[in-house]
Amino acid sequence: MFPASFGYVAARSVDEALELLAKHGEDGKILAGGHSLIPAMKLRLSSPRTLIDLGTVPGLQGVKIDGGNLVIGALTVHADIASSDLVRKHVPGLADAASVIGDMQVRNRGTIGGSVAHADPGADFPVILTALNASCVVQSAAGNRTIAVDDFFTDFFSTAMNPNEILTEIRLPLPAPSTGTAYAKFPHPASGYVVVSAGALIVRQASGSCATARIAMGGLGSTPIRATGTEQELQGKALTSQNIAAAAAKAAEGTDPVEDSYAGAEYKQHVATVYARKAIEAAVQRAATN
């Protein structure tokens, strides 16, 4: 299979990529690692006339600490996030997610920025980044703006980014002490995409009760969905198995999952309660030793 013919330009800077994007308008498409875009182009689901390659722009890769944030360059590949000492120390839930995307070869090429900008409802990063309260930094000719993750994903394959903007980095507030993060995924056995997944961030009080919970669910709608019923149920409660199970039972409340040939809506909602519990249990364990 071959993509439809297109022109190719290797950008040397984000500014140059923005100029090219302005010049080509709707015919131009940004290429990062290409592991969502190239398959879509081979299937002719997408036929941009010009690809603007960000892979040739220096400085968009890597994980660093900047003030109170962990900052991940948009072109950082999944494998480097999964193995990053900074990620594993501060937000191991993000490493959980990065290490179960696709397969080893895909993790060696696919980028976090590409995955987030593509906004596939079966992707892993949008879910865990929602639990981690991430921000997405996007650049345009007018400068940078930061979009909170809760506002970023708007629908299937749709984001709050404008067509003249490029995602350049993901920022995560460094968790306070006694915080645990985790990600649990029920993958489709053939495709590896999310059937249902759960991301959890738990801040534990010295007493052993829950100070804060952010729980995000994947596979239950067109975007990641915050399990607000679960979060409220955990708030202030002792983090016992019983309380966690009771809270996780509310993980799919108010959702309307899309049925497919593999899983019906009711089944997905049930699996969601199981994976919410797994993610919360793992986050609580990490919070206890952090």
The binding site for other proteins (CB under 8 A) comprises 1-8, 10, 31, 34-35, 38-39, 41-43, 51, 53, 55-56, 79, 102-106, 108-109, 191-192
Instruction: Please report how close the Cβ of residue 209 comes to other proteins at its closest, in angstroms.
Output: 35
Nearer to other proteins, 67 or 103 (CB): 103
SS (H, E, C) 259-277: CCCCCCHHHHHHHHHHHHH
Q: Are 224 and 216 in contact (CB under 8 A)?
A: yes
Smallest gap from residue 176 Cβ to other proteins (A): 32
- Return the number of the residue (27 or 151) whose C-beta is nearest other proteins: 27
Between residues 6 and 267, which has the closer beta carbon with respect to other proteins?
6
Q: Which two tokens stand for residue 208?
A: 């052993």
- Shortest separation between residue 166's beta carbon and other proteins, angstroms: 18
The C-alpha atoms of residue 164 and residue 220 are separated, in whole angstroms, by 30
Residue keyed to tokens 């019906």 = 264
Please enumerate in sequence order all residues whose Cβ is within 8 A of that of 74, keeping only pairs 6 or more positions apart, or say none.
32, 54, 60, 111, 112, 113, 114, 116, 117, 166, 167, 168, 169, 170
Burial class (CB in 10 A: 0-12, 13-18, 19+), 189: exposed
Angle between helices 241-248 and 265-288 (to 10 degrees): 150
Q: Looking at beta carbons only, is 42 or 89 nearer to other proteins?
A: 42
Closest distance to other proteins from the beta carbon of 14 (Å): 18
Nearest residue (CB) to other proteins, 36 versus 130: 36
- Shortest approach of other proteins to residue 192 CB, angstroms? 7
Compute the least distance from the CB of residue 144 to other proteins, in Å: 26
Nearer Cβ to other proteins (100/263): 100
Tokens of 78: 């999944």
